[in-house]
């Protein structure tokens, strides 16, 4: 039993392994010596926003779970090498090929309200996430049939069909363990967890103050006295903030990378796989998009290299699959039929009967205006007339996925925690991100199968096939470019590890004397 | 009243309309205003002749040559997509000027008739109109415009309609206060005394005397409208790509402010100079219309 | 005095009611379903329906209006759809920032405007006067956010004298508070200063020419005394009006400047709220703005009455 446990754990770990992406200048490896660190120092960080809600079961994800992880433990964690390691659960195993997972919890964790983090608490959290009326995790946990506290510190999660991505889900909101007292009344007004930091105060949308959690299970490893979060929506503002050392650590976008890396006394590493620019199409609103030749033509007309180098100043890479180079699940052996070929695109359009031209309205977020303009010019060159509509806020997403008023547009994709989940998000039937259900039966079958493949090599091969498929005949979601998001920190900050899960990831971070 | 004959009344009425000859004379004596008018005509000509003036296609991108500094080929350098800044600046003139015209015209179209009515009719009608006007003016103009554009969707037309609506109260107030002054003048009394219908009085006698201060105001208003359009476009709520106005160019340049600060200078300067010219022309007109009518 | 004032108060109240109808009507028309933003990545129609019900969006409009109005009078401005906290809390948290900014801007504006106006009036017709007029016209003509951007380039990036972004609360010390506000406040103040300078110049010029000034001169009073005592006091009436007008304008003008300088005030709050369709926040901020403006107008009327002896006794 032990052997298979280790094997499974290793396999699961390998599931997400792979180099952590070519990084900038990460801090020298290894945790800083205790003597180097000022344990009374606070870290001030600039983030995109403050969490709209600290309730893990209602949080909408994106950049926010990273902040929630500062105050909550997750059952499983991801380290800087994208490997799964134990969090609140010290180990996990599946004995039935991924149908059910047995998690063994640590026995030494307590919430800041004194209650123990045990199987009952975990079950309470998961049951709530599964049943909460306005919960946001119900879809992603849709495959969970039941959660049982089989022992004081043992939890068994049983799924409906085999799915090896469950452990990965438990590294995010689904695996966050909130103190049951904090949601006893229904609403979580202030977060109570067992994480490295404790929530102290907050000005919504502006700032959050966190202090070190003195009862944290590995208290010695928390090197900061506290974290002060400042919300700055504009990456220019964040760059200015770190330039003037108003914050110690922050992240910026591709436009700021050159300058950021040239700043004296500032180090950085790139987070590569959290911002994919994706084009979504809806064939019900524009029948042309129902034609595979048209879809391929529109893909071939895009100069992905040009966008990566020109619009995003090289802090980006062209995307033909759902992972950046070096990311977990990236297919090395990969043949993309999509190349930058305006002539070929024009021919395909002709063949499909749109030689006279095609026109449509393209929606996107303000963030991607430049990418949209570049695409507009490329399409204009092959006789496709595109008007751009910049919709602020959640407008573009709403128009594409919910109201379904836009036939084509570009929105952000954060990569999802596992490549299989990414495929699921885009290509199965009925998902919001596939608003007109452009489907490929083979792909759907493969998505189903890969969820149950325990052997990582076998799973990767299937992912290779899937990557080839979507690059040979594009469906309803087309990857365009990955924009890098460099994390910047001053030279006073030590112990920084190049976590790829998003910003902020502060395990092991401290400030020098 | 009976001591004044009808002939005298008509003579007075005839003399009540402002003369054009003296106005032009006075205007010409102000070098600054004349210079400003010249500048405006130049910019307008540039906007009209834009398609023939631009050295490059303002929409032509060159992703390999983004954010370049001025060179022989690109007088003012290239923007974030490799497009020629000089050409875009000239094309931007069209959009900015047209937008200012649209917004100002709408504001006057709403404010003038309502102001005339409120000022001349007075009483409850005036009271009602003024309460609505005051309510509108209590709301922050830019925010209101933003909200309106958010309702209708971002586009230059929507933005200009919103700005027109939001600035109409100022036009209304100006017209109304002019009318209030004018209606007390003797020639108005005279006209009423010979039984002229109200609407004729308003159109024949009140309106021409409102025109002078209104023109001054319009010049200034055009400047304000231009600044508001710049604000909305800066936020992405006005002109949509690939079209560009000076305000939109300013907005985009903010993203690249540390990388290419010059990009922020050109459109800002263009806006400032144009609004400046409008204000100076307005001042010049005010100086030229004669002291008597200025009160 | 009250006799003069009562009708004005009633009128202001009427205007205020109209303002509330306008605010409510406007935001009620804002399309886009806020429920969708709150529903997360994979919403189901049931989920959206339940959120709408919670937010009270399924009730008829007039019911929503009166509910809102009633809550308003008990001080409840609603709850932010995006942040989930009471709008009142958000506004109170952000008000100090905008007020600080406005205050510093008004001070700068008054200092520059008065000084400039007095200098120009004293040196009427000379090149100093001309220059002042030109400068003031430039100040009015230029978008305040452009000034802001230039200041960032020159003073924050170039010279490094001031921070480019953020806000430091007064509690942390006057130095940092001022340092963060100088650039944005100056950008905001220039247009007002220009306007004030023109008004000051013209009203001082008028006043200086008046008989009693000549009399004072004839009596041998020194020029400085003339200025400070008589001219200023008489010129103060229109100035009060202009200052109040500028303050009211500033509240609207801060929006973009706050965004550029990353100041967490009401301006950036309302921009974000409009973009994320957070109706209660938009309503709340616009309402607060309206209340301030209307109060300022009343105050100005009051001061004007107080300062102008003709109105008082006439």
Q: Enter the tokens of residue C23.
A: 């605010």
Interface test with C, best of B138, B144, B162 (most C CBs within 10 A): B138
Question: How many angstroms separate the CA atoms of C4 and C113, rounded?
Answer: 32
In chain A, what is the greatest distance between 2 CA atoms, to the nearest angstrom?
72
Give the DSSP letter of residue A401: I
What is the predicted pLDDT for the residue at C308?
65
pLDDT at C83 (0 to 100): 74
Is residue A399 within 8 Å of A391, Cβ to Cβ?
A: yes
Q: Do the bridges between strand A42-47 and strand A249-251 make them parallel or antiparallel, or are there none, so unpaired?
A: parallel
Highest mean pLDDT among A253-257, A315-319, C259-263: A315-319
Q: How far is CA A1 from CA A95, C189, C288, in A?
A: 9, 75, 67
Task: Determine contact: C277 vs chain A, CB below 8 A.
Answer: yes
Residues in chain B: 295
DSSP of A272-321, one letter per residue? -SS-EEEEEE-TTT-GGGGSHHHHHHHHHT--HHHIIIIISTTSEEE-SS
How much is the average pLDDT of A124-141?
Answer: 88
CA atoms within 13 A on the CB side of A17: 9
Q: Are B276 and C138 in contact (CB < 8 Å)? A: yes
What confidence score (pLDDT) does residue A19 get?
Answer: 31
Nearest to B138 among C11, C138, C294 (CB): C294
For chain B, the 3-state helix, strand and coil shares in percent, each to the nearest 5, are 75, 0, 25
- Print burial letters for C73-88: b (CB count within 10 Å at least 16), e (below 16): eeeebbbbbbbbbbbb
Question: How far is residue B288's CA from residue A149's CA, in Å, rounded to a whole number?
Answer: 90
Q: Is the pLDDT of residue A477 over 90?
A: yes
Q: Is the pLDDT of residue A119 over 90?
A: yes
> Residue C243, preceding bond cis, omega within 30 degrees?
no
pLDDT at C221: 65
Q: Is the pLDDT of residue A11 over 90?
A: no
Q: For chain A, give the percent of residues with pLDDT over 70.
A: 93
Per-residue pLDDT at C163: 79
Q: Considering CB atoms only, which of A309, A311, A376 is closest to B242?
A: A376
Contact C40 A60 (CB under 8 A): yes
**What pLDDT does C81 receive?**
73
Neighbouring C-alpha atoms within 13 Å toward the C-beta of A354: 26
Predicted confidence at residue A398, as pLDDT, reads: 77
* Range 60-119 of C in CB contact (< 8 A) with A: 80, 82-85, 89-90, 93-94
The H or E element spanning position A156 is: strand A154-159
Query: Each residue's pLDDT tens digit in chain C (314 positions)?
Result: 567 778 888 888 888 888 888 887 776 666 555 555 555 444 455 555 666 666 666 666 677 777 777 777 777 777 787 777 888 888 888 888 998 998 899 889 888 888 888 888 777 778 888 888 888 888 888 888 898 988 988 888 778 788 777 777 787 788 888 988 999 999 998 888 888 888 778 777 776 666 656 676 677 766 666 666 666 676 666 667 667 767 777 767 788 898 888 888 888 888 888 777 777 888 888 888 888 888 888 887 777 777 666 555 54
pLDDT band for position A9 (50/70/90)? Answer: very low
In a mutational test of the A interface, the residue from C156, C166, C272 whose CB has the highest number of chain A CBs within 10 Å is C166
- The answer to which of A20-34, A239-253, A409-423, C296-310 has the lowest mean pLDDT is A20-34
Q: In what helix (H) or strand (E) does residue C235 lie, and over which residues does it extend? A: helix C232-260
Distance from CA of B226 to the nearest CA of C (A): 9
List, for residues B169-187, the tens digit of each pLDDT value. Answer: 989 999 998 888 888 877 7
Domain extents for chain B?
Answer: 27-289
pLDDT at residue A225, as a whole number: 94
Q: C151 phi and psi, to 5 degrees?
A: -60, -40
Mean pLDDT check: name the lowest of A112-121, B59-68, B76-85, B198-207. B198-207
pLDDT at A475: 94
- Alpha-carbon distance of A507 to A509, in angstroms, equals 6
Specify the pLDDT at position C30. Answer: 60
Residues A32 and A511 sit within 8 Å (Cβ to Cβ): no
Exposure letters A42-61 (e unless 16+ CB within 10 A, then b): bbbbbbbbbbbbbbbbbbbb
Chain-chain contact of C275 with A53 (C-beta, under 8 angstroms): no
With a CB cutoff of 8 Å and minimum separation 6, the contacts of B51 are none
Out of A136, A206, A237, the one facing C40 most closely (by C-beta) is A136
Compute the mean pLDDT over every residue in chain A, rounded to the nearest whole number: 88
CA–CA gap between residue A86 and residue A130 (Å, rounded): 23
pLDDT bucket at A353, cuts 50 / 70 / 90: very high
- pLDDT above 70 covers what percent of chain B? 91
Closest chain C C-alpha to B227 CA, distance in angstroms: 6
Please give the full DSSP string across B97-122, using - where no structure is assigned: HHHHHHHHHHHHHHHHHHHHHHHHH-
Q: Are B12 and B259 in contact (CB under 8 A)?
A: no
For residues A191 and A173, the answer to whether their CB atoms sit within 8 Å is no
DSSP string over A372-386: HHHHHHHHHHTTEEE
Q: Does C77 touch chain B (CB under 8 A)?
A: no
Q: Tell the residue number behind the tokens 């998000």, with chain if given.
A: A425
Stretch A306-310: mean pLDDT: 93
Is it the case that residue A42 has pLDDT exceeding 90?
yes
Name the token pair of B73: 């080929």
Q: Are B111 and B170 in contact (CB under 8 A)?
A: yes
Asked whether the ipTM of the predicted complex exceeds the cut of 0.90, the reply is no
Give the dihedral sign, CA C45/C50/C54/C60: positive
- C150 to each of B70, B203, C141, C285, how far by Cα in Å? 19, 48, 15, 29
Q: For an interface test with C, which of A244, A414, A426 has the most C Cβ atoms less than 10 Å from its Cβ?
A: A244
**Average pLDDT along chain B:** 84
When scoring B252, B258, B263 by the number of chain A Cβ atoms within 10 A, the one with the most, hence best to mutate, is B258
* Cβ-based contacts of A143 with chain C (< 8 Å): none
Measured at the CA of C151, the angle between CA C145 and CA C152, to 5 degrees, comes to 90
Question: Distance between CA B132 and CA C14 in Å, rounded?
Answer: 9
Q: How far apart are alpha carbons C115 and C122 in whole angstroms?
A: 11
Contact list in A for residue B255 (CB cut-off 8 A) is 236, 255
**Count of H helices and E strands in chain A?**
14, 23
pLDDT, tens digit, 9 for 90 and up, residues A384-433 = 999 998 876 667 887 888 778 999 999 988 888 889 999 988 999 888 88
- pLDDT of A192 reads 96
| Residue B159: closest CA among B268, B236, B105 | B236
Could you tell me which chain C residue has the CA closest to the CA of A392? Answer: C275
Per-residue pLDDT for A29 more than 50?
no
Give the tens place of pLDDT for each residue, A404-414.
Answer: 899 999 998 88
CA distance A57 to A188: 10
Which DSSP category does A490 fall into? E
pLDDT value at residue B10 = 58
C270 touches chain B (CB under 8 A): yes
C-contacting chains (≥3 CB pairs under 8 Å): A, B
CB C262 within 8 Å of CB C166: yes
Q: Do C33 and A398 touch (CB under 8 A)?
A: yes
Cβ C286–B279 below 8 Å, yes or no?
Answer: no
Q: Does A367 touch chain C (CB under 8 A)?
A: no
Confidence of residue A341 (pLDDT cuts 50, 70, 90): very high
User: Which of B59, B60, B82 is opposite residue A310, by nearest beta carbon?
Assistant: B82
On the 0-12 / 13-18 / 19+ scale of CB atoms within 10 A, C233 is: exposed
Of A133, A234, A392, the CB nearest to C262: A234
Going by C-beta distance under 8 Å and a sequence separation of 6 or more, which residues neighbour residue A324? A21, A272, A273, A317, A330, A482
pLDDT at residue B295, as a whole number: 39
Task: List Cβ neighbours of C102 (8 Å cut-off, separation of 6 or more).
Answer: C188, C247, C250, C251, C254
Minimal Cα distance from C144: which residue of B? B227
Q: B257 CB near a chain A CB, below 8 Å?
A: yes
Q: Is C225 on the interface with A (CB under 8 A)?
A: no
Using the beta-carbon criterion (under 8 Å), do B64 and A374 form an inter-chain contact?
Answer: no
- How many other CB atoms are there within 10 angstroms of residue B28's CB atom? 12
Contact A238, A46 (CB under 8 A): yes
Backbone conformation region of residue A205, classed left if phi is above 0, alpha if psi is from -120 to 50, else beta:
left
Instruction: Answer whether CATH 3.30.56.10 is correct for domain B27-289.
Output: no
Give the residue-averaged pLDDT of B143-163: 83
Is the distance from CB of A280 to CB of A477 less than 8 angstroms?
yes
* Interface contact flag, C137 B254, Cβ < 8 Å: no
């Amino acid at each position: 039993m032990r052997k298979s446990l280790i094997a499974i754990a290793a396999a699961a770990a390998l599931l997400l392994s792979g180099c952590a992406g070519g990084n900038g200048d990460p801090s020298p490896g290894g945790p800083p010596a205790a003597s180097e660190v000022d344990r009374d120092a606070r870290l001030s960080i600039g983030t995109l926003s403050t969490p709209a809600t600290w309730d893990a079961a209602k949080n909408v994800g994106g950049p926010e779970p990273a902040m929630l992880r500062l105050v909550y433990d997750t059952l499983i964690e991801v380290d800087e090498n994208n490997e799964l390691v134990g969090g609140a659960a010290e180990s996990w195993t599946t004995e039935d090929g991924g149908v059910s997972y047995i998690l063994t919890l640590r026995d030494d964790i307590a919430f800041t309200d004194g209650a123990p983090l045990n199987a009952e608490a975990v079950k309470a959290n998961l049951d709530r996430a599964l049943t909460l009326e306005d919960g946001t995790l119900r879809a992603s946990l849709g495959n969970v049939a039941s959660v049982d506290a089989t022992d004081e510190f043992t939890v068994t999660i049983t799924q409906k069909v085999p799915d090896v991505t469950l452990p990965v889900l438990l590294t995010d909101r689904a695996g966050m363990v909130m103190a049951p007292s904090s949601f006893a009344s229904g609403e979580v007004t202030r977060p109570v967890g067992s994480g490295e930091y404790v929530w102290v105060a907050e000005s919504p949308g502006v700032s959050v103050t966190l202090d070190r959690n003195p009862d944290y299970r590995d208290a010695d490893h928390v090197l900061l006295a506290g974290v002060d979060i400042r919300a700055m929506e504009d990456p220019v503002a964040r760059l200015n903030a770190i330039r003037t050392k108003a914050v110690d650590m922050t992240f910026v976008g591709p436009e700021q990378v050159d300058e950021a890396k040239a700043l004296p006394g500032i180090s950085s590493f790139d987070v590569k796989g959290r911002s994919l620019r994706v084009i979504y199409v809806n064939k019900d609103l524009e029948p042309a998009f129902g034609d595979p030749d048209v879809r391929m033509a529109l893909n071939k007309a895009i100069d992905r290299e040009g966008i990566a180098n020109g619009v995003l100043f090289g802090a980006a890479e062209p995307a033909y699959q759902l992972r950046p180079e070096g990311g977990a699940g990236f297919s090395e052996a990969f043949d993309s039929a999509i190349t930058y070929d305006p002539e070929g695109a024009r021919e395909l359009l002709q063949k499909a009967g749109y030689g006279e031209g095609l026109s449509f309205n393209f929606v996107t977020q303000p963030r991607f205006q430049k990418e949209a303009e570049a695409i507009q010019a490329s399409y204009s060159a092959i006789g496709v007339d595109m008007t751009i509509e910049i919709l602020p806020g959640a407008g573009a997403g709403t128009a594409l996925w919910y109201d379904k008023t836009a036939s084509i547009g570009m929105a952000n994709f954060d990569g999802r925690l596992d490549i299989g989940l990414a495929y699921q998000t885009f290509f199965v039937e009925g998902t919001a991100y596939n608003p007109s259900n452009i489907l490929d039966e083979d792909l759907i079958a493969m998505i189903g199968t890969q969820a149950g493949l325990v052997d990582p090599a076998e799973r990767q091969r299937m992912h290779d096939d899937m990557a080839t498929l979507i690059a040979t005949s594009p469906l309803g979601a087309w990857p365009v470019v990955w924009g890098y998001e460099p994390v910047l920190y001053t030279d006073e900050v030590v112990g920084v590890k190049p976590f790829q899960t998003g910003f902020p990831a502060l395990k092991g971070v401290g400030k020098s004397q | 009243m009976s001591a004044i004959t009808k002939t005298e009344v008509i003579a007075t009425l005839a003399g009540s309309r402002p003369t054009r000859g003296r106005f032009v004379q006075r205007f010409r004596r102000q070098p600054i205003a004349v210079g400003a008018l010249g500048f405006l005509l130049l910019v307008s000509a540039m906007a009209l002749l834009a398609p023939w003036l631009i050295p490059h296609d303002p929409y032509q991108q060159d992703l390999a040559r983004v954010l370049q500094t001025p060179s022989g080929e690109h007088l003012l350098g290239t923007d974030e997509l490799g497009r020629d800044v000089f050409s875009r600046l000239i094309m931007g003139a069209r959009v900015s000027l047209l937008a200012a015209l649209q917004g100002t015209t709408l504001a006057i179209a709403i404010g003038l008739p309502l102001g005339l009515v409120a000022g001349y009719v007075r009483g409850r009608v005036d009271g009602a109109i003024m309460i609505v006007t005051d309510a509108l003016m209590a709301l922050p103009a830019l925010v209101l415009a933003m909200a309106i554009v958010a309702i209708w969707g971002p586009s230059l037309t929507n933005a200009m309609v919103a700005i027109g609506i939001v600035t109409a109260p100022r036009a209304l107030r100006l017209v109304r206060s002019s009318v209030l002054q004018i209606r007390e003048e003797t020639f108005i009394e005279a006209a009423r005394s010979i039984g002229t219908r109200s609407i004729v009085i308003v159109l024949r006698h009140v309106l021409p005397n409102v025109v002078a201060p209104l023109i001054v105001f319009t010049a200034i208003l055009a400047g304000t409208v231009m600044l508001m359009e710049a604000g909305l476009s800066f936020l992405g709520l006005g002109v949509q790509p690939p079209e560009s106005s000076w305000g939109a160019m300013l907005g985009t340049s903010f993203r690249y402010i540390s990388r290419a600060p010059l990009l922020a200078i050109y459109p800002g300067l263009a806006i400032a100079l144009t609004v400046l010219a409008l204000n100076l022309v307005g001042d010049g007109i005010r100086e030229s219309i004669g002291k008597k009518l200025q009160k | 005095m009250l006799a003069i004032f009562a009708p004005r108060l009633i009128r202001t109240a009427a205007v205020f009611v109209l303002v509330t109808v306008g605010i409510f009507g406007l935001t009620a028309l804002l399309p886009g379903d806020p429920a969708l933003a709150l529903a997360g990545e994979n919403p189901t129609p049931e989920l959206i329906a339940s959120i709408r019900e919670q937010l009270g969006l399924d009730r008829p409009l007039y019911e929503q209006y009166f509910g809102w109005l009633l809550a308003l009078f008990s001080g409840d401005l609603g709850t932010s759809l995006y942040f989930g906290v009471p709008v009142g809390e958000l506004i109170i948290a952000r008000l100090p920032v905008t007020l600080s900014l406005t205050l510093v801007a008004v001070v700068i504006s008054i200092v520059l405007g008065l000084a400039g106006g007095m200098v120009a009036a004293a040196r009427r017709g000379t090149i100093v006067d001309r220059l002042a007029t030109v400068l003031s016209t430039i100040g009015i003509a230029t978008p305040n956010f452009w000034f802001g951007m230039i200041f960032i380039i020159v003073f924050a990036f170039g010279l490094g004298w001031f921070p480019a972004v953020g806000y430091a609360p007064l509690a942390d010390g006057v130095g940092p508070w001022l340092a963060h506000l100088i650039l944005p406040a100056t950008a905001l103040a220039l247009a007002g200063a220009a306007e004030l300078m023109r008004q000051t110049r013209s009203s001082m010029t008028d006043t200086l020419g008046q008989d009693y000034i000549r009399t004072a001169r004839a009596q041998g009073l020194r020029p400085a005394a003339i200025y400070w005592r008589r001219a200023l006091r008489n010129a103060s009436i229109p100035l009060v009006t202009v200052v109040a007008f500028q303050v009211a304008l500033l509240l609207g003008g801060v929006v973009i400047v706050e965004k550029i300088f990353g100041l967490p005030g009401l301006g950036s709050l309302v921009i974000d709220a409009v973009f994320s369709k957070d109706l209660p926040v938009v309503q709340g901020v616009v309402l607060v703005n309206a209340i301030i403006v209307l109060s300022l107008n009343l105050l100005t009327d009051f001061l004007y009455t107080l300062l102008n002896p003709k109105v008082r006794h006439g």
